[in-house]
Structure 1
Amino acid sequence: MGAVLDTGAKPGRLALPAEGALRDGLLQAFEQVLAYARAQDALADPTRAVHEFRKSVRRARALLRLMEDVVGVDAYASARTTLREVHRETSALRDRHVVLGVLHGLAPADGDADADADADVGADADVGANAGGPGTGDMDRPVGLAALVGTLVATIEAEPAPEAAVVAQVLARGGQRLEPLPRLVAGGVPRRLGWDPLTAGLAASHRRGRRRLRQIERGDDSDPVVHALRKRVKELTYQVELFAEVGGARVRRRRKRLARLSEALGTVADLIVARAYVVEHSRPGSDQAALIEEVERTRAKRLGRALGRAESLLDRPARASARKITRAARKRRR
Structure 2
Amino acid sequence: MEKGSDSAAAAVDSPVPAEDAPPTRLALALGEAFTEAQGALALRDPEAAVHGVRKGFKRLRALLRLAEAAPARAVSQRARAARRALAETARHLAQARDTAAREDALDDLVAKAGLAKATRRAAGRALASTDAPVPEGDGVGAHRATLEAEMAALAEALPRLGAALDEEALLAALAASYAKARRAGRAVDPADDESLHELRKDVIAQRYQMELVIADWPALGQFWVDELQRLRDKLGKHHDLAVLRALAEAQPARAGRRPAWCAPLLAAIAARQGKLAHSALRLHARLFAEKPKAFRRRLSAYMSAVSERK
Q: How far does the alpha carbon of each residue in 1:202-249 deviate from its partner, in whole angstroms, 9 at most, with x for none?
A: 111112112221222xx4531110101111111111100122134422
The corresponding residue for 1:131 is none
Deviation at 1:326, TM superposition (A): 4.6
The corresponding residue for 1:45 is 45
Distance in 1, matches of 2:217 and 2:152, equals: 29
Deviation at 1:170, TM superposition (A): 1.8
The corresponding residue for 2:171 is 199
Secondary structure of 1:62's counterpart equals helix
Q: Does 1:268 align with 2:238?
A: yes
Q: Kindly indicate whether the alpha-carbon contact (under 8 Å) linking 2:33 and 2:59 is maintained by their aligned counterparts in 1.
A: yes
Under a length normalisation based on structure 1, what TM-score does the superposition of the two structures give? 0.74
Under a length normalisation based on structure 2, what TM-score does the superposition of the two structures give? 0.79
Query: AA paired with 1:223?
Result: D
Distance 1:81 1:141, change over 3 A: closer
Distance 1:46 1:281, change over 3 A: farther
Distance in 2, matches of 1:331 and 1:21, equals: 21
Q: Kindly indicate whether the alpha-carbon contact (under 8 Å) linking 1:30 and 1:63 is maintained by their aligned counterparts in 2.
A: yes
Q: Kindly indicate whether the alpha-carbon contact (under 8 Å) linking 2:127 and 2:247 is maintained by their aligned counterparts in 1.
A: no
Distance in 2, matches of 1:236 and 1:281, equals: 37
> Which residue of 205, 214, 221 maps to 1:244?
214
Q: Does 1:290 align with 2:264?
A: yes
Deviation at 1:332, TM superposition (A): 2.5
- Identity over the aligned pairs, expressed in percent? 28
Q: Does 1:235 align with 2:208?
A: no
The corresponding residue for 1:303 is 277
Distance in 1, matches of 2:128 and 2:138, equals: 24
Distance in 1, matches of 2:27 and 2:117, equals: 55
Count of residue pairs the alignment pairs up: 282
Distance in 1, matches of 2:186 and 2:141, equals: 41
Deviation at 1:166, TM superposition (A): 4.8
Q: Does 1:255 align with 2:229?
A: no
Distance 1:78 1:304, change over 3 A: same
The corresponding residue for 2:159 is 186
Q: How far does the alpha carbon of each residue in 1:48-83 deviate from its partner, in whole angstroms, 9 at most, with x for none?
A: 221221111111111111222225233223222222
Distance in 2, matches of 1:164 and 1:245, equals: 41
Cα RMSD of the aligned pairs, angstroms, is 2.9
Distance in 1, matches of 2:161 and 2:45, equals: 36
Distance 1:167 1:325, change over 3 A: same
The corresponding residue for 2:82 is 79
Distance in 1, matches of 2:231 and 2:161, equals: 33
Q: Kindly indicate whether the alpha-carbon contact (under 8 Å) linking 1:99 and 1:274 is maintained by their aligned counterparts in 2.
A: yes
